[in-house]
Amino acid sequence: MARFLITIIAFAIIIWGGGMLYQSGCGTIDCVTKTFFVQEEVVIPHSSSTQTKQTPTREVVKRETAVPIPTTTPTNAEKKVNTPGPLKVIHDAVLGENQLELTRAGVINQTNNERIIQGLSTLSENLKLNASAEAKVDDMFAKQYFEHVSPSGVSVDELAKNAGYAYIVVGENLALGNFKDNQALVTAWMNSPGHRANILNARFEEIGVSVKRGTFEGREVWLAVQEFGKPLSSCPSINPFIKQSIETNKQQTESLQVSLNALRQEIDAMQPKYGDVYNKKVDQYNSLIPSYNQLVEATRVLVDSYNAQVRAFNECIAR
């Protein structure tokens, strides 16, 4: 009489759910875990009977083995905003023949000189950050305010978003006053701890600048804005299609598990446990095993790949 033993071995599957980065209030990406049981066929030798000739019998036995569930570090995908208090230097210089025009290129050049002195990499000019900085200057002149958050509640993170700049971290420096030249402006920022910290922040990779002269509270002055950023593109991306495949495989695996459980219950309840009817049911059960196991293994590979991307992203945004 032939008997077959079917063993179910557990594989742990990690599913990630999460959201997009936000440093001024964004969600976090976590991996959640789900365990599936992989099932395999094992053939047990049988002994023959010389008294009664019967159809070979198949016996179904379930065994579950718990294995450690792999985990990954949750993705700390918060976006960060650095905004030191606005800098006012009204009497630094008097507008007139001795004052030079402030320029975007000059401010960026002086800013990078300060970074070079400290052994830091220079910042690349970014057109979207330029647009964000210009929007800020224009808005402050139009609404006559000098703060990081506008009267309508628009802050630097929203300015970056409106300009289409996807970021991991952004910072903003503001200045108002009669500055002699670009160097005097950047020096004033460097003399302020909070503004200096933005200029020398090793995480920043890009910069946008706007400098304009106009009337503020009845006085002709310069308004200057620096927007700093580390773009989202500087970190390795997480492929969303892998997650979709994992979710699809999960649904298919759960559907197969339901079918296997139903067949198993039928087999357990059958008496006698031999004969054509019993063997047919066992064969039906066993025929689903390869598809189930292949699906679980394919999902495990996808999960490993997905979690590797999550870990790489985590390491990047922490730098």
pLDDT classification of 186: cutoffs 50, 70, 90: very high
The C-alpha atoms of residue 99 and residue 94 are separated, in whole angstroms, by: 7
pTM reported for the whole predicted model = 0.65
pLDDT classification of 195: cutoffs 50, 70, 90: very high
Predicted confidence (pLDDT) at residue 79 exceeds the cutoff of 90? no
pLDDT (0 to 100) of residue 80? 55
Predicted confidence (pLDDT) at residue 17 exceeds the cutoff of 50? no
> Would you say 35 and 7 are in contact if contact means Cβ atoms under 8 Å apart?
no
DSSP 8-state code for residue 217: T
- Choose the weakest-confidence range: 35-49, 84-98, 168-182: 35-49
pLDDT (0 to 100) of residue 116? 98
pLDDT classification of 95: cutoffs 50, 70, 90: very low
Average pLDDT for 3-29: 31
> Do β-strands 167-177 and 124-125 pair in parallel, antiparallel, or remain unpaired?
unpaired
DSSP H or E segment with residue 14: strand 3-17
What percent of the chain has a predicted confidence (pLDDT) above 90? 56
Task: Write down the mean pLDDT value for the chain.
Answer: 76
pLDDT classification of 191: cutoffs 50, 70, 90: very high
**Considering only CA atoms, which of 303, 111, 134, 132 is closest in space to residue 224?**
134
pLDDT (0 to 100) of residue 273? 87
Predicted confidence (pLDDT) at residue 238 exceeds the cutoff of 70? yes
- Choose the weakest-confidence range: 46-55, 157-166, 192-201, 242-251: 46-55
